[in-house]
Structure 1
Amino acid sequence: PEVIRRHELYQSTIVNALQSSGLNIEAVAFGDMFCNGIADYRRSYIEPVGWECVFPLLGESSEKLAMEIIERGIQTMLITIDGRVLPPEWCGSWYDKALIESLPSQIDPCGENGEFHTLVTSSPSFQGH
């Protein structure tokens, strides 16, 4: 049997999905905030395809961004949870002020340590949101 590392699966899934989208892609923006080598990792599989990597949030404050997301009316849902640090029933929860305030103190409010991942479902900046 072949062992597929999840990072390789993630990389190929992202690249294949973008390539088959039919969009004329010039750059891919990521919401990573911590300067922990993630930018180099993302560039390693995006730039060889010919796309630029953009990191508009790199170095920003998690606490500040969490509140800005709420204040701007961006609707976001938790779509994956690290069950070692958060209860699994949080998966599917709306990312709102109540959720942010109920996070244990060791959890980054934007999930930047892999505690959770989110999906933006609606935003004032989306066309026809």
Structure 2
Amino acid sequence: MKPRVLLSWSSGKDSAWALHDLRRRGDVEVVGLVTTLNEAFGRVAMHGVRAELVQAQADAAGLPLWPVPLPWPCSNDEYETRMRALVEKARAEGVTAFAFGDLFLADIRAYREQQLAGTGITPLFPIWGTAPDTPALARTMIGAGFRATLTCVDPKRLSPAFAGREFDSALLADLPADVDPCGENGEFHTFCHSGPIFDRAIPVRVGDVVERDGFCFADLLPKEARS
């Protein structure tokens, strides 16, 4: 019997690529997608993506969504309390590992390992590499058929004009040299709406672009919806 694994799901391309990698390897069974949701706004924490679109991703991936509602504002203590409750639920359901789509930030990896230490849940980092790997990784994602839209941009690192753009070869060519092609340093975040992990695309359109809490967010809506 394969180990049962949960995957941390931000709704972005790196999470999607991690799911793709885990399924290709075939040595574990991904049994759910864990997403932190802002209770006040019904959106993915940091990415700003509507909860209904994340549910559509989970449905298209054929996996249950494990939402973790977070208050707004949310202290680190409260975040860790709610994540501990998730881990306890996971253990009760036979989950033995928790996978993350982190690419190369050592402090983030160390934090995740610390939080899972002694819980009986093993942290996995299936797409872990180094900063020099990300230009090729970004091109590989696009070449494999993954399609994503930039939903959040840090204007201190990247022009707000990038909010709402597609993550494609043209975008990679336009990125400043000091911006990581995968946005791993927080320059931008994405919503993955198509790719080989899904049995159908999630059609979206870009609504309003707003600045909030020092970030620029492009509001993605289901394509048939009206803003």
For the pair shown, the structure with the greater C-alpha radius of gyration is: 2
User: Alignment length, in residue pairs?
Assistant: 123
* Deviation digits for residues 23-74 of structure 1 (CA, Å, limit 9, x no counterpart): 8644332221215222111223345654322111212400110000110001
| Residue identity opposite 2:190 in structure 1 | T
Pick one of 161, 169, 193 that aligns with 1:121. 193
Which is worse superposed, 78-87 or 41-50? Answer: 41-50
TM-score normalised by length of structure 2: 0.45
Residue equivalent to 2:123 = 53
2:166 paired with 1:94? yes
- 1:69 is aligned to 141
Relative to its length, the structure with more strand (as a share) is 2
Give distance in 2, aligned partners of 1:13 and 1:105: 38
Change in CA separation of 1:38 and 1:99 when aligned onto 2, cut-off 3 Å:
same
SS in 1 for 2:152: strand
1:37 aligns with 107
Pair 1:8–1:86, CA change in 2 (3 A): farther
Q: Which has the larger displacement, 108-117 or 85-94?
A: 85-94
CA distance in structure 2 between the aligned counterparts of 1:24 and 1:118, rounded to whole angstroms: 31
Query: For the Cα contact (< 8 Å) 1:35–1:59, is it kept in 2?
Result: no
- Alignment partners' CA distance in 2, 1:95 and 1:85: 17
Alpha-carbon distance between aligned partners in 1 of 2:164 and 2:80, rounded to the nearest angstrom:
24
Distance in 2 between the 1:77 and 1:85 partners? 18
Q: For 1:73-124, what per-residue CA distance to the aligned partner results, in whole angstroms no more than 9, with x for missing partners? A: 0112222211111122322221111111100011010111111122322211
5+ long unaligned stretches in structure 2: 1-72, 201-227
Give the distance between the partners of 2:195 and 2:168, measured in 1 at CA.
14
CA–CA distance in 1 between the matches of 2:78 and 2:152?
Answer: 16
Q: TM-score, with normalisation over the residues of structure 1? A: 0.74
Cα deviation for residue 125 of structure 1 reads: 2.4
State the distance in 1 between where 2:127 and 2:138 align: 12
The alignment's C-alpha RMSD in Å is 2.9
